[in-house]
Amino acid sequence: VRSRGLGDVYKRQQHYRTMNQRPLNRETVATTTHPVKILQFGEGNFLRAFVDWMIDIANEKGVTDSDIAIVTPRFRITPALETLQKQDGLYHVYLEGVKDGKPGKESRLVTSIADAFSPSADMERYESYITSPDLRFVISNTTEAGIRYEPEDMSGDNQATFPGKVTKMLHK
């Protein structure tokens, strides 16, 4: 099974918009909402095409009742974040592979992202999620570059590393 990245998804959304003359967002697509119980550090392809996709399916099947708030791990605005914001957290996952011995393709609209933002632009919103009594899970696929010790993370408001950000969050 192969999933396609946000760049591919963005190109397909441009095609979708050309064909349907309407953008992909929660005004043009009917969706259901769930309480935000998951805080996700990272807006990358793997998390969205694997974890968020599975949460979306679990919501649909009634296994869970959880939406996701995505925060950028480096606390800055990225092109992927801007695309997610324009689409109200909606995107498609395209799968190609073999199922039941037959080649196939599948497209799924993922609706499990309720919010996506950079804490650098809205620290109050970030703090409202980390102190929410609904919060149950924190997800990240931070690499070794983000998992390191920085003495500056022990004080101040802008922690540079993932462990510093999580530690600050846990102290709230």
Which of the 8 DSSP states describes residue 74? T
Q: Which comes out higher in pLDDT, residue 119 or 34?
A: 34
Residue 6: band (very low, low, confident or very high) from pLDDT cuts 50, 70, 90: low
Q: What is the pLDDT of residues 24-66, one digit of tens each?
A: 999 999 999 999 999 999 999 999 999 999 999 999 999 999 9
Average pLDDT over residues 8-12: 54
Beta-sheet pairing, 2-3 with 91-99: antiparallel
Check residues 150 and 114 and name the one with the higher pLDDT: 114
Residues 146-164: b if buried by 16+ CB within 10 A, e if exposed: beeeeeebeeeeebebbbb
Is 59 strand, coil or helix? Answer: helix
Work out the burial of residue 113: count CB atoms within 10 Å of its CB; fewer than 13 is exposed, 13-18 middle, 19 or more buried: buried
The Cα 86–Cα 91 span in angstroms is 10
Question: How confident is the model over 78-103, as pLDDT tens digits?
Answer: 899 999 999 999 999 999 999 899 99
Rounded Cα distance between 4 and 96, Å, is 9
Residue 145 exposure: Cα atoms within 13 Å on the Cβ side: 2
- pLDDT band for position 16 (cuts 50, 70, 90): low
Confidence of residue 1 (pLDDT cuts 50, 70, 90): very low
CA neighbor of 105 nearest in space, from 116, 117, 113, 97? 97
Q: Check residues 10 and 70 and name the one with the higher pLDDT.
A: 70
Euclidean distance between the first and final Cα of the chain, in Å? 40
